[in-house]
């Protein structure tokens, strides 16, 4: 092989290698964690395999443990930073932002396993939608309200499927990412909108017929999965909380929103309480007090929530 041919071969091989690397990067270009990660000596977050975005902070010997309903994950870094500034005595805080139904099971069962990691921390504070909070009242102390939210429809940028409203989710060819009502409180809220707009027939079409044929996908963890299915072109529409779209747009991810009229929408109320058996009761009380401050409410407003 002459020098010219050898150079061409090397260039071709390098081109293939670069294309493969770009392709691999593209596969994970929208993967979480979407929040800034806590500082550490080593950051070993690997897209697609070693990535635990809904466990936040210090898991070893925490001075405060908070369970937040997952769709508030975008607020957590700023909330914890602001709380630590007001209460510098709390250096190690551990937060979970899993679906509220999963967190409720964890509270009642005492543990959760994710991959090879088993967590047995008892939370000091639990925050979720009012229905879930009311269902857990036997475990909770005084309950406070701190934020509100509304539903919307997330679609890919430009809305290529021309979704105009909730009724379009029943179209046989439209791929829907739908939160599973079994553990996502938002799922039941969305189903109530289906009934308000189109009765049981609309609910059955979206939640039974389309689930059976695969055009409605029931998510495992909607506050991460629904946006990802939109971003990776696996879904044409996803009913979500308004805050989800606000956050994805702040990240400059290619999503758009189809608003649900107020007359057909629901308004979720988020409540927070300390656990009756909170291992760190003083820290729990301090955090509940912080959640009623103007600073905490401004953080929620930034991400599309309403506050009292």
Q: How far is CA 69 from the centre of its chain?
A: 8
| Least confident range of 27-41, 164-178, 191-205, 252-266 | 27-41
pLDDT band at 19 (very low <50, low <70, confident <90, very high): very low
pLDDT band at 8 (very low <50, low <70, confident <90, very high): low
**End-to-end CA distance of the chain, in Å?**
76
Burial (CB < 10 A; 0-12, 13-18, 19+), residue 117, is exposed
- Strand 125-129, strand 267-275: pairing: antiparallel
- The C-alpha atoms of residue 100 and residue 106 are separated, in whole angstroms, by 10
Report pLDDT for 49: 86
- The C-alpha atoms of residue 98 and residue 103 are separated, in whole angstroms, by 6
Beta strands in 15-139 (DSSP E): 55-57, 64-68, 93-96, 112-114, 117-119, 125-129
Task: Tell me: pLDDT of 18 over 60.
Answer: no
Task: Tell me: pLDDT of 24 over 60.
Answer: no
pLDDT in tens, 193-218: 999 999 999 999 999 999 999 999 99
Residues 168-174: what's their mean pLDDT? 98
């Amino acid at each position: 092989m002459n020098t010219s041919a050898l150079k061409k071969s090397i260039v071709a091989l390098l081109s293939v290698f670069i294309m493969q690397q770009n392709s691999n990067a593209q596969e994970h270009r929208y993967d979480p964690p979407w929040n800034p990660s806590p500082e550490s000596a080593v950051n070993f977050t690997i897209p697609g395999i070693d990535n635990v975005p809904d466990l936040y902070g210090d898991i070893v010997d925490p001075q405060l443990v908070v369970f937040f309903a997952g769709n508030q994950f975008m607020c957590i870094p700023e909330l914890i930073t602001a709380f630590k500034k007001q209460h510098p005595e709390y250096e190690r805080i551990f937060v979970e932002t899993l679906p509220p139904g999963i967190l409720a099971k964890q509270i009642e069962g005492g543990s959760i396993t994710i991959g090879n990691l088993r967590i047995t921390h008892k939370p000091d504070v639990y925050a979720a939608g009012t229905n879930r909070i009311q269902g857990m009242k036997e475990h909770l102390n005084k309950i406070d309200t701190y934020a509100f939210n509304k539903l919307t429809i997330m679609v890919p940028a430009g809305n290529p499927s021309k979704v105009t409203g909730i009724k379009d989710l029943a179209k046989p060819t439209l791929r829907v990412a739908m939160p599973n009502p079994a553990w996502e409180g938002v799922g039941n809220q969305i189903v109530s909108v289906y009934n308000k707009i189109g009765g049981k027939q609309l609910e059955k079409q979206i939640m039974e017929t389309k689930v059976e044929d695969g055009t409605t996908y029931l998510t495992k963890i909607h506050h991460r999965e629904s946006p990802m299915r939109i971003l990776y072109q696996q879904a044409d529409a996803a009913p979500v909380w308004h805050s989800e779209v606000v956050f994805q747009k702040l990240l400059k991810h290619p999503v758009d929103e189809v608003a649900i009229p107020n007359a057909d929408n629901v308004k979720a109320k988020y409540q927070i309480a300390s656990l009756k058996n909170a291992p760190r009761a003083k820290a729990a009380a301090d955090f509940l007090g912080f959640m009623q401050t103007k600073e905490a409410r401004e953080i929620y407003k930034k991400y599309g929530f309403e506050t009292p």
